[in-house]
Amino acid sequence: MNPEKVVFGFFIVLALTLNFGFFFGELDNPDHHHVYELFAAVVVNVIATVLKFGDRTQMGAVLLSTSLVAVLQLFAAALVWGVAEHISGTGMSPVVMASIVSLSGGAMLANVVSVVLLVIETVMLRR
């Protein structure tokens, strides 16, 4: 067993599950989406992205691109949250929360693609 592959797979799957945990719930209800869950999803997605930089294969390039999409959308969700809470003064309205959760949903879709590609790559691996 390769410990590097274990850590790589761990962070990819953890990124998906944390993103799902934030995404799950009523779309516009701020009580169902905690800021720390979003923060954890951002941090783990950034770690997963950094781990993907070393792979020089075509599959590695696709995995990196899905990870970059997820990080970009999660950063956008965090930015919308921060602007709503601290800059605009409107606070967390159902419309703002729906935008944040929608961005998180896009990141979750990118994470699903990443996990599916990882599984495909693992299944096609020959010893």
Which two structure tokens, joined as six digits, stand for 113?
């693609």
Of 70, 83, 77, 47, the C-alpha closest to 117 is 70
How many angstroms separate the CA atoms of 111 and 120, rounded?
Answer: 14
Residue 42: count of CB within 10 angstroms of its CB: 22
pLDDT in tens, the chain (127 residues): 789 889 999 999 999 999 999 999 888 888 899 999 999 999 999 999 999 887 888 888 999 999 999 999 999 999 999 999 999 878 889 999 999 999 999 999 999 999 999 999 889 877 6
Domain carrying residue 16: 3-124
Which two structure tokens, joined as six digits, stand for 118?
């990882």
What is the pTM (predicted TM-score) of this model? 0.91
What is the number of domains present in the chain?
A: 1
